Amino acid sequence: MPNCSIKRFALPLLACVCLSISAIAADGNALLPKSFAGWTQTGAPQTTTAADKADSAYPAVLSEYGFTDSETATYTRDDGRKLTIKAARFKDATGAYGAFTFYRQPQMKPEQIGTKAASANDRILFFRSNVLIDANFDRVTAMSAAELRELAGALPSAQGSADNPPTVPQYLPAKDAVANSARYVLGPQALLAVKAPLTPEQIDFNVEPEVLTQDYNSSDGPLTLTIIDYPTPQIAAERLRALQSSPQSSSTAMLVRRSGPLVAVVTGTTGSDAAHTLLNSVNYEAEVTWDQATSVSKRDNIGNLIVAVFALIGILLLFSLIFGVFFGGIKVLLRRWFPERAFGKPDDVEIIQLHLK
As a residue count, the chain comes to: 357
C-alpha–C-alpha distance, residues 87 and 89, integer Å: 7
Partnered with residue 216 across adjacent β-strands are: 177, 223
C-alpha–C-alpha distance, residues 273 and 220, integer Å: 9
Cβ neighbours around 178 below 10 Å, total = 14
C-alpha–C-alpha distance, residues 212 and 227, integer Å: 5
User: What pLDDT is attached to residue 3?
Assistant: 47
User: What pLDDT is attached to residue 24?
Assistant: 33
User: What pLDDT is attached to residue 134?
Assistant: 98
* Cβ contact 149:115 at 8 Å: no
At residue 306, what are phi and psi to the nearest 5 degrees?
-65, -45
3-class DSSP assignment, residue 238: helix
- pLDDT means per 10 residues, the chain with 357 residues, are 40 39 48 96 96 96 97 96 98 98 96 96 96 97 95 95 95 95 97 95 96 96 96 96 85 90 95 94 76 58 80 89 81 73 55 67
User: What pLDDT is attached to residue 189?
Assistant: 97
C-alpha–C-alpha distance, residues 165 and 131, integer Å: 12
* Cβ contact 115:126 at 8 Å: yes
* Cβ contact 338:330 at 8 Å: no
